[in-house]
């Protein structure tokens, strides 16, 4: 199971709900920023300036530290033409790479299939969360969905060890091919045994894990710690997925956005500290994306759905810095009051698929796109 | 009470509803099978649920807009509590067929209204329902009929109407798709009003005469100045439509069929059954109630016990009804309504207009584990009224042998029919701790029952409906 050479790994952290780009990577020298943000604008002395034009949100100090080490790529103006400004639709487009029609296959489902065409490893892709994100969905491609690594497995309610072992032994016998016949019974049997196998493989991760890093006590930090545990257990896992939210800050944005970025930045820093301490970071990059940015002019309390946003790619193998232009904030350049995307989100995927994972991106993202050189 | 009668009644209630408890089954067997079918069909004899009852305790379930995961709370509450189980099952059927989702329609509200329409009209005429769908704002937006103009035809609705909602591939030409689409030009929605201070405005259908193509159209060999209603008349007069809806009914209520896209090339497993249902549709002018009467009283239905796999909605609602205690809209109902999604059926958000693939396609290693763990968690809770009642049943005998213990549990959980190797494994498991005794061993024995029930719901056999 454990690989001898270090295969590239991608961690995705989805910022669900539409992150406010303008208050995340703040164009502090742009007079339009102040004009458009009377209610939710960040005071200039609090902005964590990273160059002469932009600075991070004040709660992103950990991200700034990673940025200063050259490990953070900021991809400006990410999105796609004719943003529908609907959470569901936009997220679906990001997940399926189908902006013009309804897609059913997730792009990372296709990546999983490329990486493991014969389904040799049932934990090639692991998602932390209760439901399968459409990005990972592809019929016939197994994905382990984990809520909590410590209790992951069949029948967690039977917790007493001896009793549990007896039950799981019984389960294995009940699912064996010698019992029952016919396609459906066989299929159910194989799938049940696959589930057990995934649980068996993954349960070694917390036991093998040894780290002095103390993660913050947040939901996201727990997910990222689980991801670190799976990654460091050398199980052959190549894609790890989680999300955090909701970033849908229509009202009372200030406190809400502060808390969100405090949680994201601190958890991400702990994660990379953990990988570094365990010498396990060089083959990992993390992609942070959100389904859209938010409206340029605030609504007096928050911001409404917009178009262009920022994506971040973080890791030791990342060439840090800014990529792409910050979209113009001039009123005449906005579309329906929103920043116009100038980097297609599939460009970000293309770089990751080709330069990082070593795959042919075209069939995975449905076309040929520019390839910003952040890795 | 004859064991076979209980088994048949349990089958009927699983398919025409979301299952029934042992007590309910016994009462229904007293009434008789045909009488029970009539009562299921006669939905309006039972009181309707009042959605405001739910809104009173959970105001956020009223038009939940874009709050992810909030959309199906109201529906779950309906499915668990309805006194009209068949009405709710048909609502689910129509949602499978007219699959419309928030992945494109911006928010839950319009799709919830569509679901309410299924509830209101789903037992009546399919033809009327098809007409309602052609004018349903969520459907119009979902399939771009608002972009279907006299001088710029958009074929999305026209094509799916024929391919997925009525006739099926292979019964019409590309020219027919074009002509049908022309007939629906101008069937659109009023401009959407921006969100008001207290929420969203409902969407409304409107017919824009000046955007309708008034020219002559030829569809399935008939020529005239057709509009959408004429097209629906022609569609319903075509035998392919009755067969297509019949096959959907068969797949949903009787036995798992191939997935819909394969229907043009894969014949039905029981052509006679499809013909019987198609005839019933035609003879009743597409009355669903009459057709379901034929279906539930047929031998092919009665012989199809455990011939399909449960959908996630059936797993969740069936389990909640079995263990009981979910009648009151208690806190936690939001988490319960997400369970089908965790198993691969995100209600109000089907993967595409094709709806969910059913049968074995429900099952993958993640979803199977979800099914088992959710169900085991529920039946493992000896405090739940339904579980307590099963334990009380077993307490009728002071001491029960491992074999009788297993048989009684299988009986109470369905009755569930398992092959003899499976039964033997369960008996072997029960044998570890010997006979089940009550009295001063009551607590341990209750735990043993709880464990046996958990093992039973983890069986492959339990995934069958």
What pLDDT was estimated at residue A71?
98
Mean residue pLDDT across chain B: 94
Say which of A137, A173, A187 has its CB closest to residue B425.
A173
Percent of chain B residues topping a pLDDT of 90: 84
Burial of A94 (0-12, 13-18, 19+ CB in 10 A): buried
**Predicted confidence band at B2 (pLDDT cuts at 50, 70, 90)?**
confident
Percent of chain A residues topping a pLDDT of 70: 99
* Alpha-carbon gap, residue A252 to A258, rounded angstroms: 11
pTM of the model: 0.86
* Alpha-carbon gap, residue A275 to A270, rounded angstroms: 9
For range A206-226, the mean pLDDT:
96
For A311-322, the pLDDT digits (tens) are 999 999 999 999
Residues of A in contact with B459 (CB under 8 A): 174
What pLDDT was estimated at residue A315?
98
What pLDDT was estimated at residue A157?
86
What pLDDT was estimated at residue B198?
66
Whether the Cβ atoms of residue A354 and residue A334 lie closer than 8 Å to each other:
no
* Alpha-carbon gap, residue B329 to A125, rounded angstroms: 37
Interface of A with B in 54-113 (CB under 8 A): 84, 86-89, 91-92, 102, 104
In order, the DSSP letters of B225-252 are S--HHHHHHHHHHSHHHHHHHHHHHHHH
Percent of chain A residues topping a pLDDT of 90: 77
What pLDDT was estimated at residue A5?
65
Q: Taking CB atoms and an 8 Å limit, are A157 and B102 in contact across chains? A: no
For A16-41, the pLDDT digits (tens) are 999 999 999 999 999 999 999 999 99
Does residue B31 register a pLDDT over 70? yes
* Alpha-carbon gap, residue A103 to A92, rounded angstroms: 8
For B380-435, the pLDDT digits (tens) are 999 999 999 999 999 999 999 999 999 999 999 989 999 999 999 999 999 999 99
- Chain A closest-CA separation from residue B17 CA (Å): 24
Q: Does A192 touch chain B (CB under 8 A)?
A: yes
Residues of B in contact with A299 (CB under 8 A): none
A-B contacts (CB, under 8 Å): 134
Say which of B342, B349, B373 has its CB closest to residue A154.
B373
Q: Taking CB atoms and an 8 Å limit, are A88 and B102 in contact across chains? A: yes
Does residue A4 register a pLDDT over 60? no
What pLDDT was estimated at residue A1?
42
**Predicted confidence band at A250 (pLDDT cuts at 50, 70, 90)?**
confident
Whether the Cβ atoms of residue A9 and residue A240 lie closer than 8 Å to each other:
yes
For B240-256, the pLDDT digits (tens) are 999 999 999 999 999 99
For A258-302, the pLDDT digits (tens) are 999 999 999 999 999 999 999 999 999 999 999 999 999 998 889
Q: Taking CB atoms and an 8 Å limit, are A180 and B422 in contact across chains? A: yes
- Chain B closest-CA separation from residue A156 CA (Å): 7
Residue B50: other Cβ atoms inside 10 A: 9
- Chain A closest-CA separation from residue B153 CA (Å): 17
What pLDDT was estimated at residue B262?
86
- Chain B closest-CA separation from residue A375 CA (Å): 32
Does residue A3 register a pLDDT over 60? no
Domain spans of chain B, in order of start: 1-41, 53-302, 385-463
What pLDDT was estimated at residue B197?
67
**Predicted confidence band at B107 (pLDDT cuts at 50, 70, 90)?**
confident
What pLDDT was estimated at residue A84?
81
Exposure pattern of A39-78 as b/e (b: 16+ CB <10 Å)?
Answer: ebbbeeeebbebeeebbbbbbbebbbebbeeebbbbbbbb
For range A194-208, the mean pLDDT:
91
What pLDDT was estimated at residue A179?
84
For range B155-171, the mean pLDDT:
94
Q: Taking CB atoms and an 8 Å limit, are A180 and B451 in contact across chains? A: no
What pLDDT was estimated at residue A2?
43
Q: Taking CB atoms and an 8 Å limit, are B376 and A155 in contact across chains? A: yes
For range B428-449, the mean pLDDT:
94
What is the complex's ipTM, to 2 decimals? 0.92
Q: Taking CB atoms and an 8 Å limit, are A166 and B429 in contact across chains? A: yes
Q: Which residue of A has its CA nearest to B353?
A: A102
For range B279-299, the mean pLDDT:
98
For B199-242, the pLDDT digits (tens) are 678 899 999 999 999 999 999 999 999 999 999 999 999 999 99
Longest dimension (CA), chain B: 85
Does residue B195 register a pLDDT over 60? yes
- Chain A closest-CA separation from residue B297 CA (Å): 27
Test the A interface: residue of B460, B461, B462, B464 with most A CBs within 10 Å = B460
A305/B210: higher pLDDT: B210
Whether the Cβ atoms of residue B451 and residue B381 lie closer than 8 Å to each other:
no
For B84-97, the pLDDT digits (tens) are 999 999 999 999 99
Residues of B in contact with A154 (CB under 8 A): 369, 372-373, 458
Helical (H) or strand (E) element with B273: helix B271-283
**Predicted confidence band at A159 (pLDDT cuts at 50, 70, 90)?**
confident
Q: How many residues does chain B have?
A: 465
């Amino acid at each position: 199971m454990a690989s001898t050479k270090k295969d590239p790994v991608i961690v995705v952290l989805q910022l669900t709900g539409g992150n406010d780009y303008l208050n995340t990577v703040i164009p502090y020298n742009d007079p339009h920023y102040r004009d458009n943000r009377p209610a939710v604008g960040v005071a200039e002395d609090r902005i964590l300036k990273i160059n002469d034009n932009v600075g991070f949100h004040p709660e992103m100090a950990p991200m700034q530290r990673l940025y200063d080490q050259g490990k953070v790529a900021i991809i400006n103006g990410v999105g796609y033409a004719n943003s529908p400004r609907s959470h569901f639709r936009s997220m679906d487009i990001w997940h399926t790479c189908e902006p013009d029609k309804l897609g059913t296959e997730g792009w990372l489902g296709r990546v999983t299939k490329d990486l493991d065409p014969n389904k040799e490893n049932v934990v090639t892709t692991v998602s932390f969360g209760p439901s399968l994100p459409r990005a990972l969905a592809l019929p016939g491609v197994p994905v382990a969905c984990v809520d909590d690594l410590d209790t992951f497995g069949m029948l967690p309610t039977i917790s007493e060890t001896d009793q549990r072992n007896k039950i799981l032994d019984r389960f294995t016998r009940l699912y064996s091919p010698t019992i029952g016949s016919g396609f459906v019974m066989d299929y159910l049997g194989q799938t049940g045994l696959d589930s057990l196998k995934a649980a068996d493989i993954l349960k070694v991760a917390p036991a093998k894990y040894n780290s002095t890093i103390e993660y913050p006590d947040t939901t996201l930090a727990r997910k990222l710690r689980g991801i670190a545990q799976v990654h460091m257990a050398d199980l052959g896992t190549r894609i790890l997925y989680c999300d955090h939210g909701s970033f849908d800050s229509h009202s009372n944005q200030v406190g809400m956005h502060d808390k969100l970025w405090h949680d994201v930045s601190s958890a991400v820093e702990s994660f990379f500290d953990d990988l570094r301490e365990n010498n396990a970071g060089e083959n990992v990059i993390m992609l942070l994306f959100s389904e859209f940015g938010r409206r340029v002019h605030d609504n007096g309390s928050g911001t409404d759905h917009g178009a262009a946003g920022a994506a971040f790619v973080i890791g030791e193998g990342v060439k840090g810095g800014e990529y792409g232009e910050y979209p113009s904030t001039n009123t005449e350049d906005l579309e329906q009051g929103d920043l116009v995307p100038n980097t297609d989100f599939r460009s970000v995927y293309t770089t990751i698929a080709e330069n990082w994972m070593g795959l042919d991106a075209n069939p995975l993202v449905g076309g040929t796109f520019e390839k910003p050189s952040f890795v | 009470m004859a064991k076979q009668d209980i088994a048949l009644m349990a089958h009927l209630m699983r398919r025409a509803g979301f299952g029934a408890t042992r007590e309910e089954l016994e009462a229904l067997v007293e009434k008789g099978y045909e009488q029970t079918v009539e009562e299921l069909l006669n939905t309006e004899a039972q009181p309707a649920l009042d959605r405001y009852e739910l809104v009173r305790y959970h105001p956020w379930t009223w038009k939940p807009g874009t709050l992810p995961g909030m959309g199906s709370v109201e529906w779950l509450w309906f499915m668990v509590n309805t006194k009209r189980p068949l009405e709710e099952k048909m609502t689910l059927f129509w949602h499978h067929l007219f699959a419309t989702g928030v992945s494109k329609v911006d928010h839950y509200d319009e799709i919830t209204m569509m679901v309410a329409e299924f509830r209101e009209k789903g037992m009546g005429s399919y033809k009327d329902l098809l007409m309602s769908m052609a004018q349903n704002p969520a459907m119009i937006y979902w399939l771009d009929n608002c972009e279907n103009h006299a001088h710029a035809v958009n074929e999305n609705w026209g094509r799916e109407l024929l391919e997925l909602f009525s006739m099926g591939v292979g019964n019409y030409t590309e020219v027919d798709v074009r002509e049908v689409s022309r007939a629906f030009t101008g069937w659109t929605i009023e401009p959407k009003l921006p969100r008001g201070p207290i929420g969203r405005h409902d969407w409304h259908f409107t017919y824009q005469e000046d955007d309708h193509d008034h020219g002559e159209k030829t569809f399935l060999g008939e020529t005239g100045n057709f509009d959408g209603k004429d097209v629906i008349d022609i569609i319903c007069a075509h035998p392919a439509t009755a067969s297509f809806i019949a096959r959907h009914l068969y797949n949903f209520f009787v036995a798992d069929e191939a997935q819909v896209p394969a229907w043009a090339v894969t014949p039905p497993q029981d052509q006679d059954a499809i013909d019987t249902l198609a005839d019933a549709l035609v003879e009743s002018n597409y009355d669903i109630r009459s057709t379901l009467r034929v279906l539930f009283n047929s031998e092919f239905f009665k012989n199809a016990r455990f011939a399909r796999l449960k959908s996630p909605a059936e797993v969740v609602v069936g389990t909640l009804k079995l263990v009981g205690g979910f009648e009151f809209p208690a806190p936690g109902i939001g988490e319960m309504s997400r369970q089908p999604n965790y198993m691969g059926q995100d209600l109000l958000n089907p993967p595409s207009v094709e709806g969910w693939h059913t049968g074995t396609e429900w099952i993958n290693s993640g979803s199977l584990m979800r099914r088992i763990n959710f169900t085991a968690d529920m039946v493992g809770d000896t405090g739940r009224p339904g579980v307590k009642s099963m334990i009380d049943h077993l307490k009728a005998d002071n001491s029960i042998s491992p074999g009788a213990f297993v048989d009684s549990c299988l009986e109470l959980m369905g009755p569930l029919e398992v092959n003899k190797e499976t039964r033997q494994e369960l008996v072997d498991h029960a044998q570890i701790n010997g006979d089940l005794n009550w009295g001063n061993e009551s607590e341990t024995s209750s735990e043993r029952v709880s464990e046996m029930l958990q093992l039973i719901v983890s069986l492959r056999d339990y995934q069958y409906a």
